């Protein structure tokens, strides 16, 4: 890793996307992992599926050990031209109306103002009905 570092575009790196020639972009660096495909603990499909893009998130999501990170140096071939990597669209949740706690309590109060009198009225009719009905012996 001496002298000038080679800078690759994503298009150049993307051409190396099969089992006989596999390059990955991780943390702004380009790695030729072809010789490591057979030895990769997760299998070669994991590495091959990460070609042609910035594989940093894929790499970080797995939680590689410090020894795995140290091994990367031997596969380093250059840097990526970051201007050739498409920007990631950050997820923005859909707009939702603001939840107003005060309005919710107003709704509950109005509901109770309607239901409590109905309950009292029903109870009064029930008591009146049972007190007027003659007991059968």
Report whether 37 contacts 22 (CB < 8 A). yes
Residue 70 confidence (pLDDT)? 87
Report whether 19 contacts 44 (CB < 8 A). yes
3-state secondary structure of 7: strand
7-45 pLDDT per residue, tens = 999 999 999 999 999 999 999 999 999 999 888 888 888
Report whether 2 contacts 74 (CB < 8 A). no
Which residues, including other chains, have CB under 8 Å from residue 114's CB and lie 6 or more apart? none
Distance between CA atoms of residues 106 and 12, nearest Å: 63
CA 61 to chain centre: 11
Residue 3 scores a pLDDT above 60: no
pTM of full prediction above 0.95: no
Instruction: Give the pLDDT mean for 86-109.
Output: 74
Report whether 65 contacts 14 (CB < 8 A). no
Report whether 117 contacts 47 (CB < 8 A). no
Q: Rg for the chain (alpha carbons), in Å?
A: 34
């Amino acid at each position: 890793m001496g002298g000038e570092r080679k800078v690759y575009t994503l298009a150049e790196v993307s051409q190396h996307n099969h089992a006989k020639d596999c390059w990955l972009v991780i943390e702004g660096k380009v790695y030729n992992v072809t010789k490591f495909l057979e030895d990769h603990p997760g299998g070669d499909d994991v590495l091959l599926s990460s070609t042609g893009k910035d594989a940093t998130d894929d790499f970080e999501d797995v939680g590689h050990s410090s020894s795995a990170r140290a091994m990367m140096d031997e596969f380093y071939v250059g840097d990526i031209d970051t201007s050739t990597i498409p920007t990631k669209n950050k997820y923005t949740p859909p707009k939702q109306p603001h939840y107003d706690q005060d309005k919710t309590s107003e709704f509950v109060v109005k509901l109770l103002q309607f239901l409590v009198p109905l309950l009292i009225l029903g109870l009064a009719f029930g008591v009146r009905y049972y007190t007027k009905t003659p007991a059968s012996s």
